Amino acid sequence: MSSLNVPSIGSMNPPILRRLEALEVGEILDAIMLFLDEYRDLFAASLVCKTWTPIALDHLWRTLNSVDPLCRLLGPMQYLDGFWVSTNRLFPFSQALIERTRTATACLQRFTDTILGADWTRFEFYSQKVRRIDNDFDGGELGHGTLTQVLNIRPPSIPYILPRVTEINWTEQETARGILDLTPLFSPTLKSFALTNTSNPIDVGVVLRHLVFLPGLKLEGFHARWESRQFEGPLCDVLDRHRDSLKSFSHHSFEPEERLLNSLTQLVNLTNLELELYRTLRTDEDCNNFSDVLASRCPGLKKIRFRFPFQGIFTFYAIQPLMRIKRLREISMKARHLDLKVEDFREMGDAWRSLVALGFPNSLIPLPWLATITEHFSPTLEYINMWIQVPDGLNPDYTTLTPLTPSLKRISFIESAEPETFDAVGSFFCKLAASNTVVECSEGMGQYLRMVTGNSVKWETRGW
């Protein structure tokens, strides 16, 4: 049996040795580990050597999908007889356990006795690495309800559970106990907060008030998914409190009532706005008035995404005032029926000279228009998202059309599923698309185009 001949460091060639030395440079390691998405890969990297360990741990703890890892830092636990227990004493997790120990105070005291000073030191060390936390809690693990009890007994040396967190994305699940436990996770370093699918208005009010009164907090992003009418007052208070810092705001089921609209348009640094305009904007005139207010008060907007969930037909008049926002780089308008003409795109191109992304996914755009549209937005346009209309018997002379602008990197479109339209679409992109343009289309269209075009155009299929 022969043994493996592993060369020593001293016997290696200088070029190989230099490559190995590069893996000891912190900046290089940090850049490499940005490409490791799986937790198991980062965990494996943390075990390589002492040089790799701190950098890998920073990446491993940077984003958490649950608060469970934080809870487990306070000692070993196991699931027994329907609740969590520590190695020595009962762990207060459920109401049934509290009833078994007669009083919540006694239960909490038993848990307190099991936490050592070293446990808190370990907890503090790793909690400082967390920059983002998402809630994927499904009721099967320790969960954020347990974390609340931990917070009640933490030592004074730990004023904030997540002292360096910058982003919290919280989705209330149907089985969750609510979102009241969110507020202890906040710290003055928080920059972006998202709260979606909430069902308890009391909890939402508590969270919004906490965002108003937490000292030192300067939010830059706020994203919500609930009816704004329910919490119009607290939501206005949040916008007013962070008027000078908020740069990004998104809200589904947004109703632009006077006070809320006034608070929104007073955000002096607002650049990204995403709204599902709910109930009140039903006509071209309503949308035109709303667009006019935005253009007048928010000239610094760079990204706008609107969704109109109504059956009415909207025209270019609905968004025409937005032409006054000259710094716009991305715009997306999704409506059931949005009637646009090729002349409308010419006016958009003249107004938005720096536009990078253009999306009108529910507008029926004739296929030959794509070449004309991209010409109007050249040379900055990189992404376009349209609903392509392929007229019956279409056989245009593509030699008369200008090729798609070379800056275009991606086209995402929905087309007719009829096979007889495939030839027209495939011929169009083969003749006019740049070599670096990626085309996203339906699975059926993509399979057909791969068959007939080979590698002349890059395709990515998507199921719609």
Strand partners, 224: 195, 251
Parallel/antiparallel/unpaired status of strands 248-254 and 272-277: parallel
| Residue 328 buriedness (CB in 10 A; 0-12 / 13-18 / 19+) | buried
Angle at 456 between CA 452 and CA 462, to 5 degrees: 70
Q: Determine the angle formed by the axes of helices 52-62 and 26-33, rounding to 10 degrees.
A: 30
Spatial separation of the C-alpha atoms in residues 143 and 153, rounded to whole Å: 17
pLDDT the model gives residue 94: 46
Q: Are 463 and 435 in contact (CB under 8 A)?
A: no
pLDDT digits (tens, 9 = 90+) for 53-94: 888 888 888 888 877 787 777 766 554 444 444 444 444 444
Share of the chain above pLDDT 70, in %: 71
Name the more confident of 323 and 426: 323
pLDDT the model gives residue 428: 81
pLDDT the model gives residue 287: 87
| SS3 readout for the chain | CCCCCCCCHHHCCHHHHHHHHHCCCHHHHHHHHCCCCCHHHHHHHHCCCCCHHHHHHHHHHHEECCCHHHHHCCCCEEEECCEEEECCCECCCCHHHHHHCCCHHHHHHHHHHHCCHHHHHHHHHHHCCCCEEECCCCCCCCHHHHHHHHHHCCCCCCCCCCCCCCEEEEECCCCCCCCHHHHHHCCCCCCEEEEECCCCHHHHHHHHHHHHHCCCCCCCEEEEECCHHHHHHHHHHHHHHCCCCCCEEEEEEECCCHHHHHHHCCCCCCCEEEEEECCCCCCHHHHHHHHHHHHHHCCCCCEEEEEEEEEEEEEHHHCHHHHHCCCCCEEEEEEEEEECCHHHHHHHHHHCCCCCEEEEEEEEEECCHHHHHHHHCCCCCCEEEEEEECCCCCCCCHHHCCCCCCCCCEEEEECCCCHHHHHHHHHHHHHHCCCCCEEEEEHHHHHHHHHHHCCCCEEEEECC
Mean pLDDT, rounded, for 196-201: 62
List all residues 6 or more positions away from 461 whose beta carbon is below 8 Å from its beta carbon: 440, 441, 442, 443, 445, 446, 447
pLDDT the model gives residue 219: 95
pLDDT, averaged across the chain: 76
Name the more confident of 313 and 261: 261
pLDDT digits (tens, 9 = 90+) for 434-445: 777 888 887 777
pLDDT digits (tens, 9 = 90+) for 125-181: 888 999 998 875 444 344 445 555 666 667 778 888 889 999 988 776 543 444 555
Plot region of 102 (φ>0 → left; ψ -120 to 50 → alpha; else → beta): left
Does the pLDDT value for residue 224 go beyond 60? yes
pLDDT digits (tens, 9 = 90+) for 240-274: 999 999 999 998 878 778 888 899 999 999 999 99
